[in-house]
Structure 1
Amino acid sequence: MMISPSDLSVMMLAASDELLLVVDPSNRHIVAANPRAATMLGLTVDELIGRPITDLERSLPDMFYWNEVASGHHQEIALAEGLYARTDGSLLAVEKSIRAIESNGQDWLVIRARDAQARQNVESELEHAMSMLRATLESVAEGILVIDLHGNIGNFNHRFAELWQLPSELLREGDDQVLFDRIWGQCKDSEQVCERFLELREARDSLSFDTLELLDGRVFECRSCPQMWRDQVLGRVFSITDITERMAVQHELADARDKALAASRAKSDFLSQMSHELRTPLNAIIGFAELLQEELGQEQQASLQAITGAGWHLLDLINEVLDLAKVEAGRLTVESKPVELSALLHDCLTLVAPLAERRAVRLAPLAAGQACWVMGDERRLRQVAFNLLSNAIKYNREQGEVSLHLERQANTMTLAVRDTGIGVSAEDQAKLFQPFSRVGSKQKTEEGAGIGLSFTRQLLQLMGGDISLQSEPGRGSVFTVNIPAAEPPRASQPTAAAPMAPAPGTDDITVLYIEDDPVSRLLLTRVFAKQATIRFFTADSGASGIALCEEIHPTLVLSDMNLGDMTGVEILQALRNRPTTCQVPVWALSANAMPSDIAEGLSAGFERYLTKPVDVAALLNAIRSWATSQPGTEFDI
């Protein structure tokens, strides 16, 4: 018997993804089927219609059910498991429901079934996904807490419970408020932390970052963000990280940095103090030696020249130590501008010529040619050249030779300094550029601190260059310097010199020297005593110097920077604040010779800053030049 689709509304489910069969309970034959049923069972719809349902169902509960139907019972089944035989011999596990309906006075049984394996697969996949999500949540190093929009705890991992030391019995109770009270109570500022939590619960779209300090000394980093599903906020996710060790390391690093800075400052202060303490006696040694050269006979000249030379050599060593310290501290700066290297080398050859003559070493002339321009600091390049030339002379042999060779290669200028001296062994070459390292037997008989070559290399590296050595004992050495080449600068248009003001008479010069060191006062007193056109006065303290300045109205004041009662800056300010002395030029003359000291002095208002030991001739020339020039004109001393 066929059933019309119009008689059964269930047939509207022909496109459903469920198996749908209509069975005549009187004979248990299938009277209608949907395409999905045919597909699931491996038959066509026509093949299903008219087939006994008992040919298809294979489970014992199915057989018992249809036996009951045959006896006249039309029991409805809400959900049951069953098996269907497929044409390929396999069995299809299903979940099914059976419902009785009436149409046109006829009873029918409608079977709806779903592939149970598909559901099981979906459930298995869902369970696997949830397991993976949970495993991921438990594997992270941070403690994770998820709350809903009302502040109720939705989820958390074991790390969160571990960080906040939440006991298991408390977790089993599941009382959110008790848990939160336990958490807030561990924080130093529990009220503020609780208020922050309530604030974040209301600020649904915001991100947060907070640092929590606990009563037991631990420090937590707390981040949170909204929990989103598509464009809907479901709650908030908190991530807690224990940063106690990191903070401890940061504090240790900060302490180490502060100690390093303190050590660096102490080193700088020590070098500055040592420079001051060494320069003050050197001022007397060099100054009086120069005065004695003018007073004593020819027999004593050689001795006085040795004293003066030794004094200036000690000053060079002091400057080298200070420069090396600045390089190591990263505070030494160099200029970068075009420098004509061949002219600079000619000047250096002239300076070392007396040393070469005394050592019986021949200086080969630098071949005349076109100008050789490099990019660097002229003063520092002069130090480099002078150091290499003096070393080549000192460690040469009698009747030896020193020669220079310049060559440009692409963007690099190469300077080779060659000598015919004692040479350096391969073992000693590795030590030669280390600070305070002196190698070879002749080093012990020559003056030096062993820092020249180390400082030379560091200077060159600051200017973008470097230095290397090729040497063989007994056959001499070649130091090769590489420095970036430069193009000649464009010639600038000459500017007209400013007109000179009428020069005051030099017999109008009155100099006041404020200095508490008696030896330094005695030295300049002896120096200026020979200058008939300069009146010279001294004061041994800041207070007496200020009073004397108001009394004699000097043309120029020279002031030390550290007196017993006042600093040089305080003396300068006191003179500037008095109407009778506010216009008097004040020069600093101090053993404080660090660049920072000089910069501080000039910024305080000193017109010039001279350092000890003072070059007597240069000082006198500077005063004469200043006195005969316009106010404010600067001269090199």
Structure 2
Amino acid sequence: MTEPGTTRSQVLLADRRRKLQMLAAQPDRVFELFVRSALQLTQSDVAAVSLVGEEWQWFKAGVGLEAVHIPLSLSFCAHGIETGTTFEVVDAAADVRFAQHPLVNRDAGLRSYAGHPIEFEGEQLGMLFVMSAQPRTLTPEQMRWLQDLAQGAADAAASHERIFKLQISQRRLLDFASASSDWLWETDSSHHYTWLSDRFEDLTGLTVQSQLGRNPPASPMRDGAGRVVEPLLGFLEVLDRQQSFARVVVLKPTPMGDRLISYSAIAKFGSDGMFRGYRGSAQDVTHRIGAERQEREVSDTLRLLAQHVPGVLYQRVSRPDGTGYCPYASESVRQLFEITPEKLALDCGPMFDRIHPEDRKSVEAQIRSAENSGQPWSQTFRVVLPEAGLRVLSGFASPRRMPDGNVLWHGFTTDVTESEKAAAEIARSGQQWELASQAAGIGIFELNLSTATITLDRNACQVHHLPAESPTAFVLAQWLDMLEPSARESAQAFISLAAVSGVIQREVLGVVTTSGEPRRIEFVARAQASRDRTRSRTPVLIGVCRDITEEYAIERLRQEMAETREANRSKSELLSRISHELRTPLNGILGFAQLLEGDRKEPLTSVQKQRVQTIRMSGTRLLSLVNDVLELSRIEQQMFSLQRESVSVNSVVNSGIALLQPLALERALQVEFIGAEHELHVKADRRAMDQVFTNLLSNAIKYNRAGGQATVIVEPLGTSKVQISIEDTGVGMSEAQVDQLFQPFNRVGAEKTQIEGTGLGLVIARELTQGMGGTIEVTSTPHTGSCFTIKLPLAKGSQTGRDSTDSMPAQTDWIEAAGGTALYIEDDPVNAMLMREVFGRLGNWKLLEAATGAEGLRLALAEQPHLLLTDMNLPDMSGLDIVKQIRQQPATRRMQVIAVTADALPQQQEMARQIGVDGYWTKPLDLALILKHLRGFFSANPDFPLSTK
């Protein structure tokens, strides 16, 4: 513990000594009142008034302290006097100044300190302080009380004339402390509020100032359930009695609603015997009364229900020492245990005394086990009743450990004696069961846990596929040898669990027949004792078994199919999201590229046109790749469809070479095209063929050596096929690498290089080629190069398919219409900017914009535009919801609505059409297609004549 500073305590003048002597001469009882008040009001363990001298500190008055004086080096108060104001230590054990103080680290174990200086004749000579065994901080109200009491102690020491007034103040504080609950109050003789504690505002929502000078509520008294007491007696009438009272409940209106308030107060009388008013406390009991009312209602309901339950419903509290009681037991306990609920509410021992001596240890052991594990308890046991004699009961209960260490049980016990009588009926049904079980392939087995022997009936032997001459009884180890090695541990666990739990257990085990065939057999069993409950019981497992090999295989297949469907669904959702995320930025890239190409006011130079065209072609190719990833997903889900038509091979090759020429130039590669004598056409999907060829040629360039060569050779293959070969002079591949080439995400070693790739391109290329009725073949020589060969069916005739520019947006011819209005709902600023540019080139066409669905609906209803364009994925609502609301409003029901979205899945398009969408535009937008749609819309609306611009 560190020494406090000595700037003031080091030199004590004679004047200070005189003042200390005067203060020490004051009667101890003066300070004791303040000490006890501080102890009560702050709810502390220790309170004292200390006087600080030059070397010692002594205690003028104190509660909870044995010491009379201590050295100054051990003084909390010396530190407090040095601060000159209220001094608080939240946790002395964590404070380096006080961690070694004997009151902190020894038996006293005090942790927190709070004190305020006592000033006498202008000098601080001591402290009024409190200490607690717990780390804490005083509340503001407690701190104010401590400060007031310290000031009161100082005033008492300064003048005997003020002692009387201070005693009154002290009594007031003590009265407040004795009556306080939630907030404190004081009235005059006319019942007007003269003082309210700070908590009043927090708990009622009313300001203290608004209530001073006013009366408490005059509403009638209510009982503990919140009901008005008869005969009616108002609260002011209670106050008129000029008598102390407690827990008078009345209804008080507040800004937080009507509240039930419980008032308690002490009547004040002057020295002349005249009534001066009340000092008291008030507590909001609204929630408590409501909870008690609800508890009574639940209790009444439970009591009514329990009357119709064939057994006893109960709550039981079990203490750590083994004793307990039942807070609740239904009336049926009188018949089931021949004990009254009132007796069990005091002690549940008599209930356990009714248990049969042979069963009691088992019942108590299983209850203790359930308490320790937290698992439900379930058991059948016998009781011996004074009147009814021997009965058999079945009990079930669930434990819950309470914070105080007790265990609260909720349980149900019923009489099952009559079920024993049903055993004879069950025996008579044995023959019928034998016939039914044989027809269903169900066998019965019995395992004697004492002798570890298992007995199989005839059907059970057939289930195990045992020979007809095989014995029906086996030592348990012999039966375990019939099982698959991996199933033996599960079988032993199954037997153990069934033996101790007392409930039905189920297990499927692998059995190896005598012919070596593996079979799956289902076992269902539970523990059972001797049927004669009055004799010593032998524990056995009784169960059934059946061969479920075929069922098991079918179920496994069903699960695998379900898992496969779920995996495909998840993958489709992922691909849809990837497509959406890629299409959104592509919309800006391709859209503004088209705007630049079609800008006639500020036309591009030839070089700029070529660059913009390269941007547009690359963006279009990326869009094609995004679409093809979705197509590959459809292939795997058998939802893939290719548009097979006559496609010019030269067109595909020339387009691919042009697209990849910048990459070839970057690597100083030469790309050579050796075409056929005559132009050839294949029967293929143009977009798929573009992707396949571009992927293979891209690989020939990327994996080539610098300054190498890539050669494309097109030639007919017989009379029915066309062969396209892509040769390179790269590093080549080994046979092992070629074998792994078409595995997803396997880059056969290229992942160790700086060449970009995902390992999916060749997989997609092969799937697309096979989908077009073709094949891809690979030959490769390490350090020499590779050759990929595409073989596709030759198309009949010379019809040319879509050329490479078909997949790119065409240059646009702008139109203008007079006075039309469109509304575009889009949260992406780039997409909104693009649409704004498009409509900005349509002459007088006016475009309204909204970034949220709610704003868009408001504009649609207010402006009633001729055309509504909306994104399908808005931050606050779906575009489908917007369309539904538009179609429900008479004013907008016939409005033309077009969905503008990055979601290209067919099912989404179909859903949009079903709710009334007139058009479905997929991002990235083809501006030529937009103008085509707008022309169609304008031509169908003669009010908007068209003109080409």
SS at match of 2:780: strand
Residue type of the alignment partner of 2:567: A
1:549 to 860, 873, 876: 860
CA distance in 1 between partners of 2:603 and 2:674 (Å): 39
Given the alignment of the two structures, is residue 328 of structure 1 paired with residue 636 of structure 2, yes or no?
yes
- Provide Cα deviations, 1:492-529, integer angstroms capped at 9, x if missing partner: xxxxxxxxxxx995344433211234453344335544
- Residues 730 and 783 in structure 2, CA contact (< 8 A), matched pair in contact too: yes
Q: Call closer, same or farther: CA 1:162–1:449 in 2, change over 3 Å.
A: closer
Provide the rounded CA distance (Å) in 1 between the counterparts of 2:935 and 2:683: 33
Q: Deviations over 1:202-245 (max 9, x none)?
A: xxxxxxxxxxxx9969xxxxxxxxxxxxxxxxxxxxxxx95534
Root mean square deviation, CA, Å? 4.7
1:455 CA displacement: 0.6
Change (3 A) 1:422 1:442: farther
Match of 1:516?
Answer: 827
Aligned: 1:411 with 2:411: no
Code of the aligned partner of 1:513: Y
Residue 413 of structure 1: how far off its partner (Å) = 2.6
Q: Deviations over 1:244-297 (max 9, x none)?
A: 343344334323332332232222223323333444355456667887998999
Partner of 2:762: 453
Amino acid at match of 2:722: M
Q: Name the residue aligned to 2:575.
A: 271
1:377 corresponding residue in structure 2: 685
- 1:472 corresponds in structure 2 to 781
Structure 1 residue 595: deviation in Å? 3.7
Count how many residue pairs are aligned between Structure 1 and Structure 2: 399
SS in 2 for 1:257: helix
SS in 2 for 1:537: strand
- Partner of residue 463, structure 1: 772
Secondary structure at the counterpart of residue 516 of structure 1: coil
CA contact (8 A) 1:404 1:417 kept: yes
User: 2:732 & 2:915 partners in 1: Cα distance?
Assistant: 51
Distance 1:289 1:347, change over 3 A: closer
Report the Cα distance in structure 1 between the residues aligned to 2:817 and 2:723, rounded to whole angstroms.
Answer: 50
The residue correspondences of 1:289-368 to structure 2 (distance < 5 A) are 315=623, 318-353=626-661, 355-356=663-664, 359-367=667-675
2:83 matched to which residue of 1? none
Report what 1:428 is aligned to: 737
The secondary structure found in structure 2 opposite 1:280 is: helix
TM-score w.r.t. length of structure 2: 0.36
2:896 aligned with 1:592 = no
Task: Quote the residue 2:128 is aligned against.
Answer: none
Q: Could you list the per-position Cα deviations for residues 568-588 of structure 1 after superposition, in whole angstroms to 9, with x for gaps in the alignment? A: 223223333444433333222
In structure 2, C-alpha distance between the alignment counterparts of 1:348 and 1:428, rounded to whole Å: 26
Contact 1:143 1:161 in 2 (8 A): no
Displacement of 1:337 after TM fit? 4.4
- Of residues 574, 584, 594, the one that matches 1:280 is 584
1:601 matched to 2:912? The reply is yes
Letter aligned with residue 430 of structure 1 = D
1:174-253 matches, cutoff 5 A: 242-253=546-557
8 Å contact from structure 2 (residues 650, 675) kept in 1: no
Residue aligning to 2:563 = 259
Instruction: Return closer, same or farther for 1:452/1:341 CA change in 2, 3 Å cut-off.
Output: same
Moved more, 592-601 or 526-535: 526-535
Cα shift readout 1:109-137 (whole Å, capped 9, x = no counterpart): xxxxxxxxxxxxxxxxxxxxxxxxxxxxx
For the structure 1 residues 310 and 480, does the alpha-carbon distance in structure 2 shift closer, same or farther, using more than 3 Å as the test? closer
Counterpart residue identity of residue 562, structure 2: D
- The C-alpha deviation readout for 1:559-607, integer Å capped at 9, x for no partner, is 1112244322232233334444333332221122334333433454434
* Residue 540 of structure 1 pairs with residue 859 of structure 2: no
> What letter is aligned with 1:506?
A
Point out the more displaced range, 469-478 or 339-348. 339-348
- The 8 Å contact of residues 816 and 843 in structure 2, kept in 1 or not, is answered as no
Give, in whole Å, the separation in 1 of the partners of 2:577 and 2:621. Answer: 19
- Give the letter aligned to residue 386 of structure 1: T
Paired amino acid for 1:567: S
Mean alpha-carbon deviation: is it higher for 272-281 or for 305-314?
Answer: 305-314
Larger Rg: 1
Judging changes above 3 Å, is the alpha-carbon distance between structure 1 residues 477 and 161 closer, same or farther for their aligned structure 2 residues? closer
Quickly say closer, same or farther: Cα 1:509–1:372, change in 2 above 3 A: farther
2:707 counterpart of 1:398: yes
Q: In structure 2, what residue type is equivalent to 1:326?
A: R
Unaligned ranges ≥5, structure 1:
1-141, 146-157, 166-213, 218-240, 492-502, 632-637
Structure 2's unaligned 5+ residue stretches are 1-436, 441-456, 465-521, 526-544, 801-813, 942-949
Aligned twin of 1:575: 886
1:457 to partner: Cα distance? 0.7
Using the TM superposition, give the Cα deviation of residue 456 of structure 1 relative to its aligned residue in structure 2, in angstroms: 0.5
For residues 320 and 424 of structure 1, the distance between their equivalents in structure 2, rounded to whole angstroms, comes to 27
Instruction: Give CA deviations for 1:424-474 in whole Å, capped at 9, x if unaligned.
Output: 444432333222233466984444323111110111122222101122344
> Which amino acid counterpart does residue 477 of structure 1 have in structure 2?
S
Is the alpha carbon distance of 1:435 and 1:144 closer, same or farther for their aligned partners in structure 2, counting shifts above 3 Å? Answer: closer
SS at match of 1:364: strand
Contact 2:671–2:711 (8 Å) recurs in 1: yes
- Contact 2:710 2:726 (C-alpha < 8 Å) held by counterparts: no
CA apart distance, 1:333 = 2.5
Please give the alpha-carbon distance, in whole angstroms, between the structure 2 residues aligned to 1:417 and 1:532: 50
Q: Any idea what the Cα deviations from partners look like across 1:377-424, whole Å, max 9, x if unmatched?
A: 333222212222333344444363432222122433322223344444
Q: Indicate if the aligned counterparts of 2:584 and 2:923 stay in contact, CA closer than 8 A.
A: yes
- Provide the rounded CA distance (Å) in 2 between the counterparts of 1:215 and 1:474: 63
Secondary structure of the 2:911 match is helix
The separation in 1 between residues aligned to 2:672 and 2:618, in whole angstroms, is 27
Q: SS at 2:557's partner residue?
A: helix
Name the aligned partner's letter for residue 569 of structure 2.
R
Question: Which secondary structure does the structure 2 equivalent of 1:596 belong to?
Answer: helix
1:388 and 2:696 aligned: yes
Equivalent position to 2:793, from 484, 487, 500: 484
What whole-Å deviation, never above 9, does each CA across 1:299-342 have from its counterpart, x for those lacking one? Answer: 99999999888866765554454344333344322244444434
Which whole-Å deviations, capped at 9, do the CAs of 1:91-120 have from their partners, x for residues lacking one? xxxxxxxxxxxxxxxxxxxxxxxxxxxxxx
Closer/same/farther in 2, CA of residues 550 and 340 from structure 1, 3 Å limit? same
* More contact order relative to length (CA 8 Å, sep ≥ 6): 1
8 A contact 2:826–2:849 mirrored in 1: yes
Question: What SS class does the counterpart of residue 717 from structure 2 fall into?
Answer: strand
Give the conservation status (yes or no) of the 8 Å contact 1:504–1:628. no
Q: Does 1:562 align with 2:870?
A: no
The offset of 1:540, in angstroms, is 2.4
User: What is the distance in 2 between the residues matched to 1:430 and 1:256?
Assistant: 28
When residues 303 and 490 of structure 1 are mapped into structure 2, their CA distance, relative to the original with a 3 A threshold, is closer
Is the CA contact (8 Å cut-off) linking 2:676 and 2:714 kept in structure 1? Answer: no
Shift of 1:547: 3.6
- In 1, Cα distance between the equivalents of 2:611 and 2:647? 38
Q: Is the 8 A contact 1:525 1:536 kept in 2?
A: yes
